[in-house]
């Protein structure tokens, strides 16, 4: 077991977050010390749980019951239907977990899914998603979202923005920082001494020599060559449509992509249930399952906990390193 517990943030209480957290605890309770932060009313009925006042108490109760660091919400959860009433509680739990991680009381945080529109409408949430909020909470210069599984690791350079905005937001500075943070994260948190990074092109066929776009010739390829000369093992730009078959995946440790769907479609196709969201570039460790709130199945007891299990396992492994 990890010395300090992994903290699980409750996420949207009307979704499947509490259910998959309880199932993950049941699966990992003898291997990983963990605690859950949230309102005990939101856990599935019958979940063995013990209230704790200090994360240090988690190790003594974790194998027998889920340690709960109580954080009262405004209202019970209506499973399958998010209410604005509980939005502020969701935001506050994330901030509380980050503070605990900063103080060393927990070794890592694993965040259950949130519903961004509910947080915006109910709590004035000013961020596109978890990644950007964690970046602000930790005062990190720049955070990077990685999706990781045994089959593939991908990093989108631009994340939660419209496709129409990608060419404007995608800059040499942003791509450079994404590649550098990815390389550092692979070394420090994944234990890969000399990480190999492949970079996808922005345009079809990576521009095909300028016939389908100029960005690759104008600045993407020169930037990659510059970074490679500085000592990072990076290659590209490669056509995205040939970057994710088995033979290609064997040549790199992570693929840096240009926009959200270019990165997430391959990993969700290859390993939907086991994908884990990892935030690189933070002074703390954060993972999360790679799925949403799943309101349509909340409360039915059928939510698949595999991604949450993998997220907790990866957080613990990263903390141990």
Tokens linked to 76: 């019970």
Beta-strand ranges (E) seen in 212-263 are 233-238, 254-257
- Does pLDDT of 117 surpass 90? yes
Q: What contacts 162, CB < 8 A, 6 or more positions away?
A: none
Cβ neighbours of residue 218 under 8 Å, at least 6 residues apart? none
pLDDT (average), residues 40-49? 96
Q: Per DSSP, what are the bridge partners of residue 67?
A: 50
Q: What pLDDT, on the 0 to 100 scale, is given for residue 230?
A: 97
Name every residue whose Cβ is closer than 8 Å to that of residue 247 and which is 6 or more positions away in sequence: none
What is the percent of the chain with per-residue pLDDT over 70, rounded to a whole number? 99
Give me the residue label for tokens 């899914």.
Answer: 113
Q: What is the pLDDT of residue 83?
A: 87
CA 164 from centre of chain: 24
Contact in structure between 9 and 109 (CB atoms under 8 Å): yes
Confidence at 260, pLDDT banded by 50, 70, 90: very high
Are 15 and 297 in contact, with CB atoms under 8 Å apart?
no
More confident residue, 132 or 91: 91
Q: What is the DSSP secondary structure assignment for residue 210, as one 8-state letter? A: T
| pLDDT at residue 3 tops 80 | no
Helix locations, 15-115, DSSP H:
17-28, 58-61, 87-103
| DSSP conformation class of 179 | H
Q: Report pLDDT digits (tens) over 231-253.
A: 999 999 999 999 999 999 999 99
What whole-number percentage of the chain has pLDDT above 90?
A: 91
The answer on pLDDT for 1 being more than 60 is: no
pLDDT, average across residues 27-31: 95
54-64: average pLDDT: 91
**For every residue of 74-94, which 3-state class applies, written as one string?**
CCCCCCCCCCHHHHHHHHHHH
* Mean pLDDT, the chain, whole residue set: 95
Tell me the two tokens of residue 160.
């939660």
How many angstroms separate the CA atoms of 73 and 86, rounded? 6
The model carries a pTM of: 0.91
- Predicted pLDDT of residue 131: 87
Coil, helix or strand for 47?
coil
User: Domains of the chain, with CATH numbers?
Assistant: 1-140+282-321 (3.40.718.10), 145-279 (3.40.718.10)
Residues 6+ apart with CB under 8 A from 212: 203, 204, 205
Average pLDDT score over residue span 268-292: 93
Residue 82: its pLDDT value, please?
A: 85
Chain segment 63-85, per-residue pLDDT in tens:
899 999 999 999 999 999 988 99
For the segment 6-23, the average pLDDT, to the nearest whole number, is 97
Q: Residue 94 is encoded by which pair of tokens?
A: 């994330």
Beta bridge partners, 153, equal: 148
Q: At which residue do the structure tokens 């991604």 appear? A: 307
Res 272: pLDDT: 87
Cis amide linkage into residue 237, ω under 30° from 0: yes
Answer yes or no: is pLDDT of 319 > 60. Answer: yes
- For residues 280 and 182, give the distance between their C-alpha atoms in angstroms, rounded to a whole number: 7
The reported pLDDT for the residue numbered 69 is 98
Residue 254 CB burial class (10 angstroms; 0-12, 13-18, ≥19): buried
């Amino acid at each position: 077991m990890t010395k300090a517990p992994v903290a699980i943030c409750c996420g949207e209480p009307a979704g499947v977050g509490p259910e998959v957290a309880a199932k993950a605890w049941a699966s990992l309770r003898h291997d990983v010390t963990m605690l859950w932060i949230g309102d005990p009313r939101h856990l599935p009925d019958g979940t063995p749980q013990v209230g704790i006042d200090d994360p240090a108490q988690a190790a003594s109760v974790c194998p027998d019951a889920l340690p709960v660091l109580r954080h009262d919400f405004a209202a019970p959860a209506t499973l399958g239907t998010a209410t604005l009433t509980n939005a502020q509680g969701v935001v506050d739990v994330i901030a509380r977990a980050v503070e605990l991680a900063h103080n060393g009381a927990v070794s890592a945080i694993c965040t259950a899914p949130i519903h961004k529109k509910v947080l915006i409408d109910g709590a004035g949430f000013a961020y596109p998603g978890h990644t950007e909020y964690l970046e602000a909470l930790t005062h990190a210069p720049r955070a990077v979202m990685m999706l990781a599984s045994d089959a593939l690791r991908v990093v989108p350079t631009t994340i939660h923005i419209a496709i129409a905005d990608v060419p404007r937001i995608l800059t040499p500075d942003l791509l450079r920082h994404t590649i550098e943070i990815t390389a550092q994260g692979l070394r420090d948190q994944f234990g890969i001494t000399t990480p190999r990074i492949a970079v996808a092109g922005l345009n079809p066929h990576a521009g095909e020599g300028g016939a389908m776009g100029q960005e690759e010739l104008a600045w993407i390829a020169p930037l990659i060559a510059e970074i490679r000369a500085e000592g990072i093992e990076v290659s590209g730009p490669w056509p995205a449509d040939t970057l994710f078959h088995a033979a290609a995946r064997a040549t790199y440790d992570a693929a840096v992509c240009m926009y959200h769907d270019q990165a997430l479609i391959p990993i969700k196709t290859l390993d939907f249930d086991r994908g884990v969201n990892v935030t690189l570039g933070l002074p703390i460790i954060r993972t999360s399952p790679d799925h949403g709130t799943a309101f349509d199945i909340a409360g039915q007891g059928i939510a698949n906990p595999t991604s949450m299990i993998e997220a907790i396992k990866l957080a613990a492994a990263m903390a141990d390193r």
